[in-house]
Chains A and B, each alone.
Chain A
Amino acid sequence: MKGEQRKKIVKTIKIDVDKCNGCRACELICSAFHAAPQYSSNNPRRARIRVVHDPLRDIYVPVYAGEYAAAECAGRDKYTIDGKEYDECSFCRASCPSRDVFKEPDSGLPLKCDMCESEPPLSEPMCVQWCLADALIYEEREEEVEEEEAQEEIEIGLEAMASKHGWQKLLDTAARMSRKG
């Protein structure tokens, strides 16, 4: 789909890995915020943020769930930063087949950070509000972007199901289920 040039507010979270204290409150509160009804449960495995941590090697990387990736990538490289070795995966936001992060534990459906979009809007995403270590800082900036049509959540889910089971099977199932309903 062809997008058009326009100005838009880009919501970002600045991550300072040096400030992370590894408490993982961000994971907990993220999953609680996105529970239905809101805050009725929590489960860090459903969180759209994950702290990649390895205390003995002093590795603490909060990373947000991004796009769904249907296939494994070739990224098995290592980065050394300040003498510490990180897997390339540590910085990757994708929900992908090569690891078990950013997927709903029961359905396997991919998760994606939505910056805690809600009505009325929050001042900051919950993970930022709960990060008293200031490792996560919320920032809005104006950028000129070529905007893609926003994919609805249902589309993300369907695409993932399709790539897992194939479109035909998915359509057949949908048809069968709608007849029942």
Chain B
Amino acid sequence: MRYAETGFNLEVDLTRGNIERVATDPRLTELYLGGLGTNAKILWDRVPPDVEPFSPDNLLIFSTGLLVGTPAVGCNRTIVSTISPQTQLMAFSMMGGFWAPELKYAGYDKVIIRGKSSDLVYLWINDDKVEIRDASHLQGKGTTETAELIRAELKEPNAQVSAIGTAGENRVYFASIEQGKSSASRGGIGAVMGDKGLKAIAVRGSKDIFIARPEEFMALCNEVLEYIKVRRENPIPGVMPILAGLGSPQEMVIHDEKWHTENFAWGNSRVRRKGFWTKEVAEQWTGTMESMRTRLISCHNCPMKCAATISVPGLPTYMMKCFSKLTYTMAAMSDLEFGLSIAQRATEYGVDAFSAPQVMAFALELYEAGILTDQHFPGMPSDNEGRFYWLLDRIVRREGIGDILANGTHWAAEQIGNGAEEYAHNNIKKHEQLPLKLSMLNPIYFLMYSTGEKINITQIEGNFPQAPFVTREEREEFAKDWIQVPNEKIKQHFLDWEPRGEHSIPHYPGVDATCEIVDWQEMMHYIDDATGMCAGLSSFPLKPPYHIHNLPTLISAATGIDLDEEGLKQIARRNRNLVRAVNIRRGMRRKDEKPPADHWKKRFPELETELIDTYYRFKGWNEQGIPTRESLRELSLGYVAADFLKRGILADGEDAPSRETSGQEEET
């Protein structure tokens, strides 16, 4: 009997058209939980480092989290993992919605796709009946449109559909996988799906998910619901509204965009516009949102309403969430009406709402700078908004200059040359980032940006406040019921952290304290990504209902696995190191671990070196960021160490830990 998980994966070979239902090893659940953890294990075992992203041997894994489909509130994430065409590293974009729970109810924890289909197909999973079906009639169809057409032809209005659009079909390096209101957008995983000739996966399930210790588990779930109510009535004072509550930043609800529009960068992540948020703009944008937003909506089993149905007059209805509200508007230096309108087309095409607008702004900057000229833009309209639509159409079809831009700013700049590299300035590990230009280096963010392997700041930042509170009283008030903090030390770092003076950034929190804070925040994300818990109720917001002190019991009660806090931390460390190992084996090193070039004006090279050095040591990595043999063995990752030694990534003695490893360990 398996609890919380189904104990079965679906293995689909698109080259041969072969489908198998494969029982999984329960020991892997104990070691890696599920979701990202077991995905990383599969990629490590089955995708050697010489496999190109667009090789039939690359795997595309759609995984549910371990607790998805149980009553755990807000636990609904699909973790999609593959090798990214853009970063050439492991991509593990995720989405909420309803797809993962439905897959669990159909009786599977993961769908593992390998090979390539010569014709466009889609997968239809209906409990035990799984079919590869022709999708030639869906070629070029939008993501929402595809989902609707599939539901209609299957006569299954309640089937959940994950689909790619034109961008994925044409292997755009920042193509997304869309699922109604949710999307797995980062890292170009939609391009891998397109490369495999897979248009969509539709799923419907009618089986039971079991809980090991129901009474204990339900008591925790009810506590979580109660705490959500408490937090709803008690927003955190002293922080901006989008950070005061739970959920992902409430972009669909909150109209006040002073913070984003004046502190985030416009265009190709270039300019900050102080004084932009006037009364007139506020009124106009509020009017736009209120007239186009039909309803606030949620993911499976979650009371937060982070998404909305958007109906722009004259355009088909679509669904939106979070900061995609502003990325197109700000890249184009336009208004919200434009942003909501072009997002409709972009969602149907299936592109990432961080990368796509930035790539277009980048292209127009190159045009202004004379690096790209009229010959690259034949027939481009002269108006600003028109140019964005024109570019979007060309990128997703890979037509003309669009074929180059479709590879993202890093690769496009390399191809264009002539100084274009300077314009691809807002990337980490070749991937476009949130458009921010700030003044003083923040040591916490520096480490998170540089070393995070989700390569996306919102997926590593979290429970520690983004900025110090002004007065000691405010800090004490915040810390009073801060039950989520892992230890008193971190609480003290926050209490002593001040906006100015000796105890302010960049030298406070100190290097060691910074390492502890970053490690905590990252650990919470790695736990969520294994359980399928939404970061919005756990690793992301201030004072969430799920935290390191209640998650071990929740996971244990659901699965029956013995687990305490130290055990869960150990699993998070194991998963973190395994993801790093996949990337290290693909060539990632210290030189790649840098924040976006133009992110902070005031930089501190010596401090930055010390931060990286100390953090690597803290994590048990050598000076290149490679997990040492000893730390790998402590995490039962001896097989990784053995592989590193075999490949010469680690040499005997080179990673010399401070003490000798005790005895002989079996390397499996």
A residues sitting closer than 8 Å to B (CB atoms) are: 21-25, 28-29, 32, 35, 37-46, 54-58, 60, 105, 129-130, 132-133
Contacts and interface: CB of A to CB of B under 8 A. Distances in A.
Given A42-B70, A45-B206, A55-B180, A21 B296 contact: yes
A23 B299 contact: yes
Given A35-B208, A38-B214, 10 more contacts: A22-B298, A25-B73, A37-B214, A39-B215, A41-B210, A55-B181, A55-B297, A58-B309, A133-B298, A133-B305
Nearest to B73: A25
5 contacts: A21-B298, A21-B305, A45-B105, A55-B319, A58-B309
| Interface range, B side | 35 or more
B207 interface: yes
A21 B181 CA distance: 12
Interface string B160-198: 000000000000000000001100000000000000000
A60 B208 CA distance: 24
B392 interface: no
Contacts of A21: 295-298, 303, 305
B301 interface: yes
Given A42-B70, A43-B209, A56 B297 contact: no
Contact of B301 (A24, A38, A129): A24
A172 to B, nearest CB: 30
Contacts of B271: none
Interface in B205-237: 205-211, 214-215, 217-218, 225, 228-229, 232
B19 to A, nearest CB: 22
B71 to A, nearest CB: 5
Contact of A25 (B69, B105, B211, B303): B303
Contacts of B218: 32, 39
A39 B214 contact: yes
B300 interface: yes
B11 interface: no
Contacts of A129: 225
A-B pairs, top 5 by smallest CB distance, nearest first, are: A132-B303, A39-B214, A23-B298, A45-B206, A41-B208
B203 to A, nearest CB: 13
B157 interface: yes
A22 B97 CA distance: 10
Nearest to A41: B208
Contacts of A35: 208, 214
Nearest to B306: A21
A55 B298 CA distance: 11
A21 B299 CA distance: 9
Contacts of A133: 298, 303, 305
Given A42-B71, A44-B105, A132 B229 contact: yes
B148 interface: yes
B492 interface: no
Interface in B566-623: none
Given A21-B297, A23-B301, A32-B71, A40 B229 contact: no
